[in-house]
Chain A
Amino acid sequence: MKVFRSHILVCGGTACRASGGADVKQALAAELAKQNLADEIRIVETGCNGFCAMGPVMVVYPEGIMYVEVKKEDIPELVEEHFLKGRPLERLFYKEATTETPIPEIKEIPFFAHQELRVLRNKGLIDPELIDEYIARDGYAGAAKALTEMTPEQIVQEVLDSGLRGRGGAGFPTGLKWRFAAQSKGDIKYVLCNADEGDPGAFMDRSVLEADPHAVLEGMVIAAKAIGSNKGFIYCRAEYPLAIRRLTIAIEQAKDYGLLGDNILDTGFNFDIEIYRGAGAFVCGEETALMTSIEGKRGMPRPRPPFPAVAGLWQKPSILNNVETFANVGQVIDKGSAWFSSVGTEKSKGTKVFALTGDVNNVGLVEVPMGTPLGTIVFDIGGGIPKGKKFKAAQLGGPSGGMIPVQHLNAPVDFETVAELGAIMGSGGLIIMNEDMCPVDMARFFMDFCQDESCGKCVPCREGTKRMLEILTDICEGRGREGDIELLEEMAVIIKDTALCGLGQTAPNPVLSTIRYFRDEYEAHIRDKHCPAGVCTALFKSPCQNACPVGMDVPSYLALVRAGRFDDAYKILLRTNPFPAICGRVCDHQCQFKCRRATADEALAIKFVKRFITDNGLRPPVQAVPVTRKEKIAVVGAGPSGLTAAGDLAARGYKVTVYEELPEPGGMMRYGIPPYRLPRDVMAREIDDIQARGVDIVCNTRIGRDISFNELDESFDYIYLAPGAHRSQSLGIEGENSEGVYGGVEFLRDFNLDEDAWISRQKSLGSRVAVIGGGNSAIDAARVAVRLGADVTILYRRTRDDMPAAEEEIIAAEHEGVKIEYFVAPLSIKAENGKVAGITCRRMKPGDFDRSGRRRPVPVEGSDFTLDVDTVISAIGQQPDPEFVPGDIGISINKWSCFDLAQGRKAETTNEKFYAGGDAVTGPWTVIGAIQAGHQAAAEMDEAIRAKNGEPPWQPPEEEKIDIPFEIDEETEEQPQAAMPELESAKRIVNFAEVELGYSIETAIKEASRCLRCDAEV
């Protein structure tokens, strides 16, 4: 016996080899030889370890230390450090995706820790090319038992009792399939293994064949004994050369040992296996088509009955199971059906192997008990979604399957639940998709696949998939028509009912599934010619512009900045947005999340460049527009939405009066956002321009108090309600009414109204402040409190990633000394003499998933603690205050106190004279969202007025022609986003000066030059 002090298990799976694994192994062997360690340390090449995204990977025993992303250049250092000096090389440890904590031992890495390895029990642990290593792990013990101790009936019964169901997709009970074949009469029967894994995104079978080929052979031997067969075929894709090679070696070794061939284990039983290389046809994954293919013909399905158990390959009784099913069988027999069925759910026993791919941190091969919640697979094992993007859906079952969207993250993954949700278990391809996935495009992709792979034998599949593909393509390219969705649904049902084989019967599934969960996105494509995910390129010029609620022409103004034409750039900004200087400071910049530059290095700083333009370009002077129309229009609320609508209506020739309750116009921009983010003069200039168009703004006037609603109704022909959402939601806890408890927006409003009193400390928060909440108002309140001299702690009940506030705001708050406590929820406010003295909180921990895909916080019992504070600011959300609207006026208000809109309208309320928009309709939202609503309302009102009068639609005045230069760099050099110069935090917290200082001309031009010009058509 040769003893080694260490074994290095190098992954030899396809993915690791592709990322340089073979070179690494060679370099390792050479280095060990060079250091005279070859006799002490053994290198073992294993099959797929499963951690494919981290490849090449290796595990060193006895320590069990895993090294990831090993390059051949790393080898000398690794050998020197680990094997000579005995110091594990931390640099190559796996690092936890969010915290970057290095984790040395394989068993501690969450990706492995949550798995239950049964089918994959040998993956990465044995050399698949050495049969002895398989035998050492109880290999062939099941076959030996089946051949010597069991009758065929007992084998079938054991498999039946285990509850094992086919892992290839349909989930038919394996034992039942075997029983039918066993009962068929015939001297020749076949055992067939389906290794024609064709679903895109699926690689479970390949990994099993590469890592543990004998497990499949053993399962087939047992099946052969059970049904009385002497000949088996493995139908394996020619695209899997490594799997075929390992299988070939395994078959040879098994034959040498007498575990295959004649007189197996001296029992008198004969069984031989041949590998059949599939020549590339997806339909051959269907059982009858696969058999036809082995017969040497075009792989087309045959009608059933007769079923293969009666007349299969060459018309002889046959069974076909997939790789994973067979890989389970040896252990079912060896360890018994009760062991097998000890995990799983009622009707889905055992484990399931998934190929976890797509937008997930830990791409790879995973095995979990049936019934494991989807969220556990995606977040605990998969490590969540990369780059801070949001989970949108998981696609299960490939072209025959469907989506499981975010609201079902708690769903147990088993045959029944998955089917109820409109997907299928399939063979185990589990593709994670983030917010950038367009469901219509995805449905088109899968339909294209099915249409391409349809064998053409039956009409529903051949013609039906083609027609469905045409419709889907039309929708994706902007030619969708009303009724297309219903037509797709109708065709789907007919194809499902009438196609000859599984391919056609399941081909419509992805379409039905995406319509079920994402009908609104289909409608957006068809009605608005808009792709919300920014995928269907025929529908937009550039992804940034597509993502902007008002469709700002980002590539054009970036190009103009690059060319130094800042004045022209300013004109482009104002075409779609009356408040570019404001948005250049406070926008949530959806555009940047879709910027394609991020695939190369980082997204472009669109917001900062926008601000630069307004700082440096000449603000185009505004002319008053003469009033040409007789209809008088009132706007309630001088926030971004009301002012935008007023400006647009004035531009169309209407006389508009805006009523504002507070002393100055601006709404939340004036009384919510603090001046260090948005200086008041910057905002005032943009509002002046609205007034310059002829809009009257009447401040200090609340409807229902200063003028009655009736008076408003009688004085104006049309009214736009945009009062915003200025009332904090209550915490609903004891002590909330004590002195020193503020709502977040109420506090910010009071500060912004009465800044001098606060700054001169006539009004004070005291020295210790707790802010509750994780949105932008919570951060704003906290940063203001810091500037007022308080020691501030934010209490948030979830994780940082779950915070709705903008990432840059959270970082800024931290820099300014705000402490943030995560997983903390308030229980009660302690008051002394009616004044706040402290807040009692409870620690939380992550529970299951809510509909937004975030983990619900659940209390940790006995973790209560009290913070001594002088002030509590509760910023857990805002609501509109629609009380000024009389109940009998016919304007419907929903349970969130928001205005309802009329069916199919985007701004009109249920009373046709009244329109509404902004936060008062959506609940608290963004400035740019409010601007969009304002544009929408103005357009819809004007349209309605003209339609009523029988006038032609409004023709906007011709725009000045601004030619957009096209200049791009030939080679893209990696260059991250330019940083925004900021006031030092020490200087910030003593005053309310603007924190962000703005780009210099050089920086702005450099940043704008990073634009890849996705809008260009070459």
Chain B
Amino acid sequence: MNSNYDELLEEFTEEQIRQLDDAIALYKGRPGALIPVLEKAQELLGFLPAPVQKHVGDGLNIPLSQVYGVVTFYSLFTMQPRGKHTIRVCLGTACYVRGGKKISDSIKQMFNIEEGETTGDRRFTFETVRCLGACGLGPVMVVDDDVHGRVKPDKIKSILDQYR
């Protein structure tokens, strides 16, 4: 429906783009539409590279600068492609005092990646988060939607082996 369609097709399928356009159409004209549309876009596409932001901006009649501003402000949005699975280590206070930092360090070492990065094989994206509210189980590591509680550094490998 607009200029950067080809650019989007390099990374995404027609079906994905069609669904994105549906979401834009649904929210267009409503006040405060940008964030819900970006959430939807991220859910559909996995990440929000510049062409997607431009597409959303054009669709909602919002300047790219503002879209970019919002994307970079909220931690939920990412401009980088994601791994097949997401590892999130909780560094909320309760987990931190129970050894969350050690879990995070072990994972960094294991895959030679930093926080926010994705492994070379795009299997895992590693993130740390602020408190998942499962403080009773600290330290907590979440892989996709599975919460693994009371994790010890030497158990990490066997947990991650379950995710291929």
User: Which A residues contact B (CB, under 8 angstroms)?
Assistant: 14-15, 17-19, 52-55, 197-203, 206, 238-240, 276-277, 279-282, 293-299, 314, 355, 357-359, 363-364, 395, 398, 429, 431, 433, 436-437, 442, 445, 449, 455, 599-600, 971-972
By the criterion CB–CB under 8 Å, are A19 and B149 in contact? yes
**Given contacts A277-B36, A599-B152, A199 and B70 within 8 Å (CB-CB):** no
Task: List B50-100 residues whose CB lies under 8 Å from chain A.
Answer: 66, 69-70, 73-77, 91-94, 96-99
- B34 near A: Cβ within 8 Å? yes
Kindly state whether residue B120 has any CB partner on chain A within 8 Å.
no
| Contact call B130/A357, Cβ cutoff below 8 A | no
Pairwise interchain contact B133-A14, C-beta atoms closer than 8 A:
yes
Q: Is B31 an interface residue (CB 8 A)?
A: yes
- B66 CB to closest chain A CB, in angstroms? 7
- Chain A proximity of B4: nearest CB distance (Å): 22
Q: Is B8 an interface residue (CB 8 A)?
A: no
Residue of A nearest to B36 (CB): A277
- B130:A445 contact, CB within 8 angstroms: no
Which A residues touch B91, using CB under 8 A?
A: 200
Q: How far is the CB of B83 from chain A (nearest CB, A)?
A: 19
B32 touches A294 (CB 8 A): yes
A200 and B70 in contact, given A19-B149, A277-B39, A280-B75 (Cβ under 8 angstroms): no
The answer to whether the Cβ of B33 comes within 8 Å of any Cβ in the partner chain is: yes
26 contacts between A and B (CB under 8 A): A14-B134, A15-B133, A17-B147, A18-B137, A18-B140, A52-B136, A198-B130, A200-B93, A201-B131, A202-B133, A203-B134, A238-B76, A240-B133, A277-B39, A279-B76, A296-B31, A297-B34, A297-B70, A299-B73, A314-B31, A363-B135, A364-B136, A437-B97, A442-B93, A600-B152, A971-B154
For the complex, what is the distance from the CA of A54 to the CA of B137, rounded to whole Å? 9
A299 near B74: Cβ-Cβ < 8 Å: yes
Q: How far is the CA of A431 from the CA of B130 in the complex (A)?
A: 14
> Could you tell me if B136 and A357 are in contact, using CB atoms closer than 8 angstroms?
yes
Give the distance in Å from the alpha carbon of A363 to the alpha carbon of B94 in the complex.
Answer: 10
Contact B35 A279 (CB under 8 A): yes
Are B136 and A296 closer than 8 Å at their CB atoms? no
Flag if B93 contacts A279 (CB, 8 Å): no
* Shortest CB distance A304–B (Å): 21
Q: Which residues of B contact A971 (CB under 8 A)?
A: 154
B130 A282 Cβ-Cβ under 8 A: yes
CB–CB B94/A201 < 8 A = yes
Q: B38 within 8 Å of A by Cβ?
A: yes
CB of B79 to closest CB in A, whole Å = 14
Cα–Cα distance between A698 and B73 once the two chains are bound (Å)? 76
Bound Cα distance from A574 to B33, whole angstroms: 72
- Find out whether the CB atom of A200 lies under 8 angstroms from the CB atom of B134: no
A206's partner among B38, B133, B138, B154 (CB-CB below 8 A) is B133
Q: Which residues on the B side are within 8 Å of A52 (C-beta)?
A: 134-137
Interface residues of B in 86-119 (CB under 8 A from A): 91-94, 96-99
Listed from nearest, the 8 A-B pairs whose CB atoms lie closest are: A18-B147, A52-B136, A203-B133, A279-B74, A200-B92, A357-B135, A280-B75, A363-B136
Q: With a CB–CB cut-off of 8 A, which chain A residues contact B156? A: none
Q: How far is the CA of A971 from the CA of B157 in the complex (A)?
A: 11
Q: Which residues of A contact B36 (CB under 8 A)?
A: 277
B136 touches A53 (CB 8 A): yes
Instruction: Annotate B19-62 by CB proximity to A: 1 below 8 A, 0 otherwise.
Output: 00000000000011111101100000000000000000000000
Residue in B closest to A203 when the chains form the complex, CB atoms: B133
**Contact A972 B74, beta carbon cutoff 8 Å:** no
Assess the A296–B33 pair: CB atoms within 8 A: yes
Q: Which residues of A contact B92 (CB under 8 A)?
A: 200-201
> Residue on A with the closest CB to B130?
A200
A55 and B70 alpha carbons, distance in the complex (Å)? 38
Query: For B138, what are the chain A residues with a Cβ–Cβ distance below 8 Å?
Result: 357
Nearest residue, chain A, Cβ from B131:
A200
Chain A residues in 8 Å Cβ range of B140: 18
Tell me, in angstroms, the Cα distance from A449 to B140 when the chains sit together: 18
Report which of A198, A279, A355 forms a contact with B38, defined as CB distance below 8 A: A279
Q: A295-B32, A599-B99 are in contact. Are A358 and B93 (CB under 8 A)?
A: yes
Among candidates A18, A19, A298, A972, residue contacting B154 with C-beta atoms closer than 8 Å = A972
Partner of B135, one of A19, A238, A358: A358
Instruction: Give chain A nearest CB distance to B162 CB in angstroms.
Output: 15
B99 surroundings in chain A (CB, below 8 A)? 599
Complex: chain A residue closest to B146, CB-CB: A18
Q: Which chain A residue has the least Cβ–Cβ distance from B139?
A: A599
Does the CB pair A280–B76 fall under 8 Å? yes
CA gap between A55 and B135 in the complex, in Å:
12
Q: Which residues of chain B come closer than 8 Å to A298, judged between CB atoms?
A: 69-70, 73
Contacting residues, chain B, for A314 (C-beta < 8 A):
31
Q: Point out the residue from B73, B93, B154 that lies within 8 Å of A281, measured CB to CB.
A: B73
- Shortest distance from the beta carbon of A1009 to any chain B beta carbon, whole Å: 15
Q: Which of B35, B129, B132 contacts A293 (CB 8 A)?
A: B35
Q: How far is the CA of A199 from the CA of B147 in the complex (A)?
A: 20
With a CB–CB cut-off of 8 A, which chain B residues contact A197?
133
Q: How many whole Å from A207's CB to the nearest CB in chain B?
A: 8
Known: A355-B133, A445-B93. 14 other contacts (CB 8 A): A15-B133, A18-B149, A200-B91, A200-B94, A202-B133, A240-B133, A277-B39, A279-B76, A281-B75, A359-B97, A359-B98, A363-B136, A429-B93, A972-B154
Instruction: Please pick, from A239, A276, A281, the residue contacting B132 in the complex, using a CB distance under 8 A.
Output: A239
Residues on the A chain within 8 Å of B131, using CB: 198-203
Residue contact A445 to B96, C-beta cutoff 8 Å: yes
CB distance from B129 to the nearest CB of A (A): 8
Q: Which residues on the B side are within 8 Å of A55 (C-beta)?
A: 136-137
Q: Do A431 and B74 touch across chains, with their CB atoms under 8 A apart?
A: no
Q: How far is the CB of B50 from chain A (nearest CB, A)?
A: 18
Q: By the criterion CB–CB under 8 Å, are B94 and A357 in contact?
A: yes
| C-alpha gap A585/B152 in the complex (Å) | 32
B73 A296 Cβ-Cβ under 8 A: no
What B residues does A18 contact at CB under 8 A?
134, 137, 140, 147, 149
B contact residues around A442 at 8 Å (CB): 93
Minimum CB distance partner of A53 in chain B: B136
Closest to B42 in A: A279
CA distance A449 to B130 in the complex (A): 9
- Chain B contacts for A972, CB-based, 8 A: 154
Query: Which of A14, A206, A296 is most buried by chain B, counting CB atoms within 10 A of its CB?
Result: A296
Nearest CB to that of B37 among chain A residues? A296
CA distance A364 to B137 in the complex (A): 10
Q: How many angstroms between the C-alpha atoms of A363 and B92 in the bound complex?
A: 15
Residues of B within 8 A of A359 (CB): 97-98
Distance in angstroms between the alpha carbons of A313 and B74 in the assembled complex: 19
Task: Report the bound CA distance from A298 to B132 in whole Å.
Answer: 23
A359 to B136, CA, bound (A): 10
Q: How far does the alpha carbon of A431 sit from the alpha carbon of B92 in the complex, in Å?
A: 11
How far apart sit A358 and B93, CA to CA, in the bound complex (Å)?
8
Nearest A residue (CB) for B66: A297
Could you tell me if B76 and A395 are in contact, using CB atoms closer than 8 angstroms? Answer: no
A281 and B74 in contact, given A200-B92, A296-B32, A296-B35 (Cβ under 8 angstroms): yes
